[in-house]
Structure 1
């Protein structure tokens, strides 16, 4: 006989979340090994002694962990996603009839804690991975990726020198039609410091920018999006973002120009555990960041009692100074040289058997 399911909500029901989440579920297993209770002591100084209770700091960091694991960067989408998943609710310690924190609460709490708190949490989780035997420390792979900043290209403003603003603007009107008046989308508040608003490029750099702009103006009819009346040439030397002054204009081949940060990620090759991550200015190059990355990773591995021997990275990290730096730190570098590298000195012959 054919069955037909009829749904009718019950006024009362007997339901336990723990019975619905399988024992082998990822978040249930993670909940057993991840102890974040130390956060109560670590973050206590950032809360007052009276007023409405805040979001539980453990819940806050668990939400961020879920966001990373589920690849969700929007606070609003994260809360919606978590409310629909029984296993995540169980991981967070919420029942099905409990409201999750409001998405704006997540944003405000993120602004409450300094960078050191997030660094401490990362280190604690890293130590748990080391204790579980997931990190060997022997070989570390380094790579970078642009991370879009929470800022719009339309809100970019011109940097000004330390002379009168109007006098300077009269000189640079030719840079772009978009820069003649106010920004296309003016920021509500300008968060940039006086230094960040001040023009730092010297005269030679400005002349080079002007030349590129003239060339760009002549060729722009053949460029994608050239018909857009808002098309303009932008540079970190001449423009800044008032909403996110630390972000920088950058572009990858074949991609649109955006305001980004540059994320540098280091991974242990044993079980692909992240051993270090940090955001840098997007106008910097990978090889400029390598020494700082190595110092950070080496310190963290040393504190965990691990010895780092091999460093793997792509060509973007290659430079003579970096090779010398890695050798000085007793690290074997597996970084291919830049394409313009021509090999050893003239007449040099490599004896493979003796490696000399």
Structure 2
């Protein structure tokens, strides 16, 4: 007789999630490893003292970690999967018949917290990794990767139109606000009041570089003031300082996406063009590969621009003293190398090949610098003498005589100019020579090989398993929040491995059983073939006898 299953569900009685979730479950290990109660202290000022109780901030960040571990791309999908997963309900602290938060609440909570709380969350996990001795701090590796934005190229529109519309909206909002306030605002504070000292970004900047005494005192002060007020990429959340671009303009300077205004066009390796961002990592050189800093910038920002801010933040925030800084060729600017070397660290960074910028003519490497007489010698043996010094660009120009160049048989390979070949040398060229000396050492070569297998696999894991191939959120501060959660999740995985998760137990019983079997077989063999001490001697002397394989 065929049976049929009736769908009749009786109410469960005396059933607890503590009994249903296994004792060795993954989320139990996460709960034992990471105590998120510190989040409540961080966000306490953002809530009123009375009113309806909100969603627990700890639950919000636990949901973010579940999204990371499960590779979920949507908050709707996150709530649906968490609703029918006993282990996730146990981790969140919600009972079987208790409704989970609505997916829209997660977006509102993220907006309430902002990026600072997510950075606090990331720093707290790094601090626990440092307390667990997972941070080595002797070597730092920097790299970045391209991440597609949640926007399409068809959403690009002229920037001036969008900025004009936003300016008009801000102006109208300010006018209506003044009308609503009435005469009560006459003696109040101006809307265009300057920023307070606490909101200034100049406090964490580097000291201005000392220049050769050739400019006037006023010009030196203006130049040093301009450099001392350099753009702080971490404080500005990776936002580009578009006011000081100069004559050179990118496509992002006159086009903006209406879907994600912070995403900018980027050229992919396969030749395609997408809207996207750059995700920057600073990774510790220890075997756990702890991510010490993560930052997302628009794709128009070059990799070398936020490098120093990331490096100083890691060095002073975590009190590490790295001996070497390793990056690829994109970080090899004179400013970065000089700052690293002046700080007592070694810059293991490949230098760009400037000869490729002048095909088919001789590059700067073809000219030999004579430090004794302060001049250059060209490939034909002619001299290039000091012509002028460009103090704002911090470089010296050396030029050959026009008549000598025009009569040179190698002129067609050297320069198309009739005024003589010129070569520029930086004021800080000695730092570049020092880095070129590193390139011959074994430590430099090992560092470059290690960088390929140290940072790039982290980006591959984040893209393949945790959804960083394309950001699901929009706007720069939101994608920074997403990147902070991904980096914090990676560090938490390393902390779990340190606490024993994923480690196979040592097979003690199997080894003991194998050793006992081996001893028994050897005993039987000797007992059968050796009956006395004389037989034992003859047994070992006989070359034809071999021990059986046990």
TM over 0.5: yes
Alignment check: 8 A CA contact 2:67 2:78 kept? yes
Q: Match of 2:498?
A: none
Ranges in structure 2 where 5+ consecutive residues have no aligned partner: 171-238, 356-363, 370-432, 444-550
Q: 1:20 to 1:298 in 2, by over 3 A?
A: same
Q: In terms of Rg, which structure is larger?
A: 2
Deviation at 1:138, TM superposition (A): 1.8
Per the normalisation by structure 2, the TM-score is 0.47
- Secondary structure in 2 matching 1:24: coil
2:318 corresponds to 1:301? yes
- Secondary structure in 2 matching 1:276: strand
Say what the alpha-carbon RMSD is for the aligned residues.
3.8
Deviation at 1:286, TM superposition (A): 0.6
Structure 2 Cα separation of the partners of residues 321 and 77 of structure 1: 46
Structure 2 Cα separation of the partners of residues 192 and 67 of structure 1: 40
Q: Match of 1:214?
A: none
Structure holding more helix per residue: 2
Q: 1:276 to 1:91 in 2, by over 3 A?
A: same
Alignment check: 8 A CA contact 1:246 1:281 kept? yes
Deviation at 1:130, TM superposition (A): 1.1
Structure 1 Cα separation of the partners of residues 338 and 99 of structure 2: 56
Q: Match of 2:63?
A: 63
Structure 2 Cα separation of the partners of residues 345 and 15 of structure 1: 82
Q: Match of 1:236?
A: 252
Deviation at 1:92, TM superposition (A): 1.6
Q: Please, which of 294, 311, 333 is the counterpart of residue 325 of structure 2?
A: 311
Q: Match of 1:325?
A: 339
Q: 1:201 to 1:46 in 2, by over 3 A?
A: closer
Alignment check: 8 A CA contact 2:268 2:274 kept? no
Q: Match of 1:129?
A: 129
2:98 corresponds to 1:98? yes
Deviation at 1:275, TM superposition (A): 0.9
Q: 1:77 to 1:130 in 2, by over 3 A?
A: same
Structure 2 Cα separation of the partners of residues 344 and 73 of structure 1: 53
Alignment check: 8 A CA contact 1:191 1:245 kept? no
Please say which of residues 272-281 and 5-14 is displaced more in the overlay: 5-14
Deviation at 1:5, TM superposition (A): 11
Per the normalisation by structure 1, the TM-score is 0.70
Deviations 1:17-52 (A, max 9, x none): 222333332221110121121222221221234443
Q: Match of 1:179?
A: none
Please say which of residues 129-138 and 247-256 is displaced more in the overlay: 247-256
Q: How is 1:273-292 mapped onto 2 (pairs within 5 angstroms)?
A: 273-292=290-309
Alignment check: 8 A CA contact 2:36 2:58 kept? yes
Alignment check: 8 A CA contact 2:322 2:345 kept? yes
Q: How is 1:88-237 mapped onto 2 (pairs within 5 angstroms)?
A: 88-160=88-160, 235-237=251-253
Q: Please, which of 318, 340, 349 is the counterpart of residue 335 of structure 1?
A: 349
- Secondary structure in 1 matching 2:265: strand
